[in-house]
Amino acid sequence: MAKIESMDNSISQVKERVAKVLELATKLGADSVEVSMSKQQGLSVSTRLGEVDTVEFTNDGALGLTVYKEGRKGSASTADLSEQALEQSVQAAINIAKYTSVDEFSGLADKELLAYTVKDLDLYHPADISTEKAIAIATEAEMAALEHDKRLTNSDGANFASYEGFKVYGNSHGQLVGYPSTRHSLSCMMIASQDDDMQRDYSYAVSRDYNELTAPKIVGVESAKAAVSRLGSQKLATGKVPVMFRADIANSLFGHFISAISGGNLYRDSSFLLNSIGKDVFSSHLNISERPHLLKGLASSSFDSEGVATHDREIITDGVLQSYLLTSYSARKLGLTTTGNAGGIHNWQISANGGDFDAMLKTLGTGLLVTELMGQGVNVVNGDYSRGAAGFWVENGEIAYPVAEITIAGNLKDIFKSVVATGADFDERGSIRTGSIIIEEMQVSGQ
């Protein structure tokens, strides 16, 4: 209870300072102003081979403000919340605005779109974790991994982190809101060796609630199994084959889709999905929903970074694009309305028409299972896609052997439309909740 009261007091104090900045900016001649502050505190511990590698304590926070005056914009920030420092920051922002160009599309989000109250999304679960306990958690994960298989001869270490903090946002439309949140994570990366072959892989867990974080032994053993499974990797012959992206890797494909429908790329004519609202983008069985208010969601929020209220939204329905992702600025440039996505997406839910991981392998039949991607060979302007990859060759629905040093390629327009199946083996460790996905065919370059 004391922790919650302390956080409430911190948020109240910051709200007072934000209100002061709003008042100062108005007095000094700003037409409008917005102020935000995020603060985070906690610790991160890394171990390697049972020894403490690093211990880091974090206590970060800064107040940022943006003023608008006669169509011009100026921004400043400060970590000092004293009245003198706040006044200097406001004056600096106003001075900067004098020298910027007039931009008719800039300014605060429309008043009627803002969130003036905050929903309780159950995001705050502080855990009283000492440095000693954090070290023990990381060590337990790493030791469980090392003890799992004699081929695990080395480690890149384990890391445990626990953070709590808050976000406060206010503007001259009369909005002043804030909320606390927590985030706890654990990761472990192992190195497996056999003869002259050496492979590494990892596992991780993340949760708002420490009590729901995957147990250290499980994270450790998962990382061990992943590293060992890659021993004896082979190359593949060049050709076109069905490709299955494991759930945690499928996230990246939807990440490219996010870039393609984001306002900044759209108003710059830098996306292969220009003018695609109402058009088929994915296979007809696929649906994408945005759910900002999921309890304990890793990307849940009542408002975006402009204070705009978030709402449930359908992005893809039966393969058809329903909505772009817009900020106030990009929406005005496009003659549209913001979608409340300033700062990113909020809990995307990808539909499933397939079963669990094993069932998806059966659906794949014979083809490539991708478990790692490398490089940045993606062109969001024309959709060209080419990335280094590693994973497993699958025959008759069963993993046959590991593969490495290959490249997979295609065009995202074709890739999205050739999604054969989406699995129910959901990865819930990020902002996109998706299962594995199977692409009908991609070009694979190997030996």
Q: What are the tens digits of pLDDT across the range 2-28?
A: 465 577 788 999 999 999 999 999 999
Task: Using DSSP, state whether 143 is helix, strand or coil.
Answer: helix
Mean pLDDT of 428-434: 95
Residue 7 pLDDT: 79
Residue 376 pLDDT: 85
Task: Using DSSP, state whether 102 is helix, strand or coil.
Answer: coil
The CATH number of the domain covering residues in 2-229: 3.30.2290.10
Residue 3 pLDDT: 60
- Mean pLDDT value across the chain: 95
Closest residue by Cα to residue 246 from 425, 375, 432, 387: 425
Instruction: Locate 137 and state its tokens.
Output: 């958690």
Residue 6 pLDDT: 77
* C-beta of residue 408 within 8 angstroms of C-beta of residue 216: no
Mean pLDDT of 55-67: 95
Does an H or E element contain 401, and which? strand 398-411
Residue with tokens 């129910």: 424
Angle of helix 2-27 relative to helix 83-97, nearest 10 degrees? 50
Task: Cite the DSSP H helix spans in 126-190.
Answer: 131-146
* C-beta of residue 338 within 8 angstroms of C-beta of residue 140: no
Task: Find all residues with CB under 8 Å of 439, minimum gap 6, and list them.
Answer: 242, 243, 244, 245, 410, 415, 418, 419, 420
pLDDT of 366 strictly over 80: yes
Helix (H), strand (E) counts: the chain: 9, 17
Residue 446 pLDDT: 84
- Each residue of 71-112: pLDDT tens digit? 999 999 999 999 999 999 999 999 999 999 999 999 999 999
pLDDT of 128 strictly over 60: yes
- Each residue of 303-357: pLDDT tens digit? 999 999 999 999 999 999 999 999 999 999 999 999 999 999 999 999 999 999 9
Q: What is the pTM of this model?
A: 0.94
34: Cα within 13 Å, side-chain hemisphere: 19
Task: Report the 10 Å Cβ neighbour count for 92.
Answer: 17
Amino acid at 351: S
Residue 1 pLDDT: 44
pLDDT of 65 strictly over 60: yes
What are the DSSP E strand ranges found in 234-296?
A: 239-245, 288-290
Per-residue buried b or exposed e for 365-394, using 16+ beta carbons within 10 Å of the residue's own CB: eebbbbbbbeeeebebeebebbbbbbbbbb
- Each residue of 168-191: pLDDT tens digit? 999 999 999 999 999 999 999 999
Closest residue by Cα to residue 66 from 38, 98, 34: 34
DSSP letter string, 12-64: HHHHHHHHHHHHHHHHTT-SEEEEEEEEEEEEEEEEETTEEEEEEEEEEEEEE
- Each residue of 354-363: pLDDT tens digit? 999 999 999 9
For the chain, the structural domain boundaries read 2-229, 233-447
Mean pLDDT of 272-298: 97
